[in-house]
Amino acid sequence: MKFKLDENLPASAMQALAGCGHDVDTVRAEGLTGAPDPRVVSAAAVDGRVLITLDRGMGDIRAYPPGSHAGIVVLRLADQSAPAVKEAVTELANWAEIEALTGAVAVLQQGVLRIRRA
């Protein structure tokens, strides 16, 4: 699966995904640090990458309706430390039905993954 990590995620999240065999790119590597959210979502969509972010605004299905992009996963974590984010991303990377994220808006919160599809 192809992912793009938003600038607010630690490098360890990239390592967690890559370690599970996923193709991972980052907003930083693409030179999009500080870019507006719609630009980041668009860049991920062009590359066919599911965007993973801590930015709750990207979970707004009115702004980013399911099916209008490659997929968005918002991590809603009480603890946003690097180890906690890595743990959440590792859990996501190992999810058996990960293809269900394609084109969807998903929110991962305390071990629960809610998915909205087109």
Which amino acid is residue 35, in one-letter code? A
Number of domains in the chain: 1
Pairing mode, if any, of strands 105-109 and 50-53? Answer: unpaired
| Full-model pTM | 0.96
Question: What is the per-residue pLDDT for 32?
Answer: 96
pLDDT tens series, the chain, 118 aa? 999 999 999 999 999 999 999 999 999 999 999 999 999 999 999 999 999 999 999 999 999 999 999 999 999 999 999 999 999 999 999 998 999 999 999 999 988 999 999 8
- Structural domain including 79 reads 2-116
- The 3-class secondary structure across the chain, one letter per residue, is CEEEECCCCCHHHHHHHHHCCCEEEECCCCCCCCCCHHHHHHHHHHCCCEEEECCHHHHCCCCCCCCCCCCEEEECCCCCCHHHHHHHHHHHHCCCCHHHHCCCEEEEECCEEEEECC
Q: How distant, in Å, are the alpha carbons of 60, 62, 111, 118 from that of 14?
A: 24, 28, 19, 27
Structure token digits, residue 3: 């992912």
Q: What angle do CA 75, 77, 82 make, to 5 degrees?
A: 90
